[in-house]
Structure 1
């Protein structure tokens, strides 16, 4: 894997002439987790898709650059809100989909290890229709982690999980993505307080930073600084819609 770069997205986006988000500058620290929160419809997913080079339905005026100057093509792994699993493929096949589409060999040992750590080893031969929503989300997360890319974009990757599994998967993701440049979009202030090394609240007017806790991620949910950051984020989110 190539070293993870820092990233910068600068610009504005419109849809049918209406402003989606005003001019902003979002910087992602190299090898760090940046958490992006905000109300629905302010453009958080659009930012992820712009970085990933995917269609957004919006007109973006600005630039997206990596600090090392290299193109981002083939350096980005993206996990969308929808799991996007192939309904006719098994869990094992869905997890290894990226390599299969590129015509490359699959690291079966690493794939199976990820599936086991996602607690899906008893479901490897099942199709998506046989899985719960949380299990499907874990399959999608395993597929993203298997890509082993230096830039990782996560759009509410833990939202369908129960509280215990969510915390377990957060811990696993932090471990598996050590050294990557990660942008996590979440609606959960507690999640951002646990995981973020940089935390931003997004509105249509721009970005407001929130000081993260000093402890390394993943942080204890009942740590005082974590709780204080969670509270500060909730206040910012409520002010944004007031």
Structure 2
């Protein structure tokens, strides 16, 4: 089934330094060496991607890879040096300042690593703040704010101030504030990286729960591959401002397009990303120990399958599509797959 493209980004460049426009006019694809010779920094280089409606699209890379700059170009917080961006079929780079303000107020939500809560406002007032800026009546905005506060698990803390909250709770307020406008497109720039590992895992679980309920279109930045594979439908890996590969997590691990992607994913546990449907065989057994979903990760079903003397049926939409046995699971666990 085809999916709707919500954001279409083609050949985006963001160069810093004098004469950036001139070098792209004379050479539409300058190399890193060309840019260095011209005393230019290629923060984003010839990036093209499409964000599908309802998906979680993760952009990842090491520090300085260009991922945050690219997302700021996609939202026009930073103006690209060249390229084309369409949002909902309209030219985002051609939008006027007034049109852009409306898009950001009503169609785009943003959450950054820094919570940026207003310390003199309560949780309720912080969550309702974007609607206050829009001039929404107080009763309406507070009703909506209470809904999203409950959604992110902070019901009962509406009258708390940020200083009275933990780091994870403050991040939830930031998420509530971005959700209150019901955005069509949600940008999250390393929102959990400042949290300790336990709270970070809890926030990832909360994020997955919210996405299962809301089905937002999300662009999520991280440098943590484990976080990426937990959350992403597709991942873009960046290096030196350029996109090395865009693929589902499983595809990145099994079929890296470049040596860099191969090295980037080398130490990832394959059982976390490989799906049952990839390693299943035809269903020829007559006795099955149980059922597993075709899109489950091998890690999630490993214990059950390994401890069984007979294969498990692999199910998809109520139909048997194959079987998986102990050997197939072990092959993945020990790296033979």
What TM-score comes out, normalization by structure 2 length?
0.57
Q: Does residue 176 of structure 2 align to residue 139 of structure 1? A: no
CA contact (8 A) 2:44 2:70 kept: no
How many residues are aligned here?
A: 219
Structure with larger RCO (C-alpha < 8 A, sep 6+): 1
CA contact (8 A) 2:5 2:50 kept: no
Going from structure 1 to structure 2, the CA distance change for 1:76 and 1:221 (only over 3 Å counts) comes to farther
The CA RMSD measured in Å over matched residues stands at 3.0
Aligned equivalents of 1:38, 1:62: Cα separation in 2:
21
Query: Which residue does 2:114 correspond to in 1?
Result: 82
**Shift in Å, 1:208:** 1.4
Q: How does 1:9-158 map to 2 (within 5 A)?
A: 9-10=9-10, 11-16=12-17, 17-54=40-77, 56=78, 60-69=81-90, 71=92, 73=100, 74=103, 75-105=107-137, 106-158=140-192
CA contact (8 A) 2:9 2:48 kept: yes
Give the SS at the match of 1:168.
helix
CA contact (8 A) 2:123 2:159 kept: yes
Going from structure 1 to structure 2, the CA distance change for 1:171 and 1:211 (only over 3 Å counts) comes to closer
Going from structure 1 to structure 2, the CA distance change for 1:185 and 1:163 (only over 3 Å counts) comes to closer
What TM-score comes out, normalization by structure 1 length?
0.78
Unaligned runs of 5+ in 2: 18-39, 251-274, 277-292, 303-337
Which structure has the greater CA radius of gyration? 2
CA contact (8 A) 2:43 2:69 kept: no
Q: Does residue 202 of structure 2 align to residue 165 of structure 1? A: yes
CA contact (8 A) 1:158 1:169 kept: no
**Shift in Å, 1:59:** 5.3
